[in-house]
Amino acid sequence: DKTVSLRKDLSEMHEWITQAEEEYLERDFEYKTPDELQRAVEELKRAKEEAMQKEVKVKLITDSVNNFIAKAPPAAHEALKKELEVLITSYQRLCSRLNGKCKTLEEVWACWRELLSYLDAENKWLNELELKLKATENIQGGAEEISESLDSLERLMRHPEDNRNQIRELAQTLTDGGILDELINEKLEKFNTRWEELQQQAVRRQKSLEQSIQSAQETDKTLRLIQESLAVIDKQLTAYIADRVDAAQVPQEAQ
């Protein structure tokens, strides 16, 4: 009997839709690790593709029902038409929901990858800052050399906060959705602690270098004055020698 066969096809398709909804849409998902999140994205992609492939089956059932209705007596029409309409609506809703959820999870995964990228960039900058702090720890030299070290440190410290703001926003987006929250909080705490510590060290080093420059400038000034004074005395003593002046005649200079 054609009606029985059609109803069986409709029933099997309904069953598949219900199973897909339960498996991919009705369950509560928790993503505590990146692996879990990545697996969920891949699984949902496969489910979406499988649902799209079922479009051929739904079309065949639709054509079969419509062909049967065209030839069957009116009494058999209504029930089958209603079942077909329910099937098509359920199928379209399933595809829409799977597409929506798949898109959302792909965006979440992209958000996580972007967060990692920004963290990596900022940690590289922190590594540079850390190396610069070590290089200026016991710097020797005059005011000019110390000033060059201060300039290079200050250039690093002018690093924009855009990346850090992005990290904060991306992390907030993910943790608000309960996604990888423990891992993200752990990474952020470690990053922020290191950021604050190195910033404070950099500010202290900046002040220290400024003081070293000031001291070096004062020393340079004192040395210049001494050199100028010695040059005057040297010139005067040279003149005395040229004039054959005896030391006894100029006790102050001789002394």
Q: What pLDDT shows up at residue 76? A: 63
Q: Categorize the per-residue pLDDT at 253 as very low, low, confident or very high, splitting at 50, 70 and 90.
A: low
State the average pLDDT over residues 47-51: 94
Q: What pLDDT shows up at residue 200? A: 95
Alpha-carbon torsion angle 100, 103, 105, 111, nearest 10: -140
**Position 241 pLDDT exceeds 70:** yes
Q: Categorize the per-residue pLDDT at 243 as very low, low, confident or very high, splitting at 50, 70 and 90.
A: confident
Mean pLDDT of the chain: 90
Token pair of 22 as six digits: 């339960």
DSSP state, residue 30: -
Domains and CATH numbers, the chain: 2-212 (1.20.58.60)
* Better pLDDT: 245 or 35: 35
Q: Categorize the per-residue pLDDT at 44 as very low, low, confident or very high, splitting at 50, 70 and 90.
A: very high
Q: What pLDDT shows up at residue 166? A: 95
**Position 36 pLDDT exceeds 70:** yes
**Is 0.85 surpassed by the pTM of this model?**
no
Q: What pLDDT shows up at residue 232? A: 85
The tens digit of pLDDT for each residue in 76-95 reads 677 888 999 999 999 999 99
The tens digit of pLDDT for each residue in 193-222 reads 999 999 999 999 999 999 988 888 888 889
Residues 6 or more apart from 69 whose CB is under 8 A from it?
Answer: 76, 77, 80, 81
Give the number of residues written for the chain.
Answer: 255
Q: Taking CA 211 as the corner, what is the angle to CA 221 and CA 218, rounded to the nearest 5 degrees?
A: 10
Q: Are 93 and 145 in contact (CB under 8 A)?
A: no
The tens digit of pLDDT for each residue in 139-176 reads 877 888 899 999 999 999 999 989 999 999 999 999 98
How far CA 116 is from CA of 32, 90, 164, 183, 184, in Å, comes to 16, 39, 12, 12, 10
The tens digit of pLDDT for each residue in 100-121 reads 999 999 999 999 999 999 999 9
**Position 254 pLDDT exceeds 60:** no
**Position 248 pLDDT exceeds 80:** no
Q: What pLDDT shows up at residue 249? A: 72
The tens digit of pLDDT for each residue in 51-80 reads 999 999 999 999 999 998 888 777 667 788
